[in-house]
Chains A and B, each alone.
Chain A
Amino acid sequence: MHELSVTESILDIVCRHASEAGAQRVIRIHLVIGDLASIVDDSVQFYFDFMSEETCARGAELVFARISTRLECRACGHAWEPTSGDWACPNCAAMAARVVAGHEFYVDSIEVE
């Protein structure tokens, strides 16, 4: 897993935006992470707690908005959330799923003072 490099990227993004906004301190960081992004929340928080020590984001809380994988069948239009890697359409059995959601992986917003 690459939560270490992920955490570094999050810190870079957060500190840049906080500094542009003239903020003293970052209180909360809102992240949006799709299930297909293969990221473990607890690991990111773990790395974040000590990597942020010397930064304006020290002690900030990470808030994870998890987005479930959502598929749409290109054959019949049925939409569903898969529970495994079997992506056959539960309505028409077609193998024609399109990913509607699940790849999200971004810093949505920060709360600062």
Chain B
Amino acid sequence: MSIRHIPVVERIFGANEGVAVEVRALCRQHQVALVNIMASPGAGKTTFLLATAHRLADRLRIGVIEGDVASTVDSDRVRAEGFPAVQINTGGGCHLDALQVRGALDQLDLDALDLILVENVGNLVCPVGFDLGENLRIALSSVPEGWDKPHKYPSIFQRVDAIVLNKIDLLPYLSFDEPEFRRLVAGLNPEAPVIPVSSTDGTGMDEWIAWLGEQLPR
């Protein structure tokens, strides 16, 4: 039997991207916006997400989707602070995908929400490859991780709408080269702003909330 060469040209994440289109349509139908927050473990995602939610709670109804390999620690914490939350446990998976998010949306009352903050699995490599059907993608980088992260993990800085630099209250104690960090990020993603914040003392949060407010669909 002779060997035949068959052209395929099909994107490997095509199936995920198809579900992401469905998520986007579902969110548009219910007029709810989805924000995908990506960062390494320990960057302060949950604290940042809660600080964001509290500042917006007077004007927007907020829900949360928490992605972790295991445990309900994060969703318990979010619920305890008064926001509806769904926990996705990936069971070893290194990122959220659109199918998991679609499943989580089924567990939220979408008509009672305006904004859903999605905390992705802590990881600087994998999450960025998966479209979740979000309106905005945010990379959260924190001062203790070092200024050189854009050097080592260019993709995440390159494929987001904004980079939030967290834990700037620690700048006096660490040798974080902020101008060099900003220079690297500007090179990777000239359009995306770098927004320095401290989720714990509130520095910069007003600027972040103002930027977020401008981006959300009206």
What residues make up the interface of A, taking CB atoms closer than 8 Å to B?
1-2, 5-6, 9-10, 12-14, 17-18, 21, 23-24, 27, 31, 36-38, 74, 82, 84-88, 95-97, 99, 105-113
Contacts and interface: CB of A to CB of B under 8 A. Distances in A.
Contact of B126 (A1, A12, A96): A1
30 contacts: A1-B94, A2-B129, A5-B93, A9-B13, A9-B15, A10-B12, A12-B15, A13-B10, A13-B12, A21-B4, A21-B6, A84-B151, A84-B154, A85-B154, A95-B186, A97-B187, A97-B188, A99-B158, A105-B13, A106-B9, A106-B10, A106-B12, A107-B8, A107-B10, A108-B8, A109-B5, A109-B8, A110-B8, A111-B6, A113-B2
Nearest to A17: B8
B12 A9 contact: yes
Contact of B183 (A14, A84, A95, A106): A95
Contacts of B188: 85, 87, 97
Contacts of A111: 3-6
A109 B5 CA distance: 7
B94 A36 contact: no
A2 B12 contact: no
Interface in B1-54: 1-16
A86 B182 CA distance: 11
Contacts of A110: 5-6, 8
Nearest to B187: A87
Given A84-B151, A113-B4, A95 B187 contact: yes
Contacts of A37: 129
Contact of A6 (B8, B9, B12): B12
Given A13-B10, A84-B151, A85-B150, 20 more contacts: A1-B126, A9-B12, A9-B15, A9-B16, A14-B8, A17-B6, A17-B10, A18-B6, A24-B1, A27-B3, A37-B129, A38-B125, A38-B126, A38-B155, A85-B187, A95-B186, A105-B129, A106-B10, A112-B3, A112-B4
A105 B95 CA distance: 17
B9 A108 contact: yes
Nearest to A21: B6
B211 interface: no
Closest 8 CB pairs of A and B: A87-B187, A85-B154, A85-B151, A95-B186, A95-B187, A113-B1, A85-B150, A107-B8
A23 B3 CA distance: 10
Contacts of A87: 154, 184, 187-188
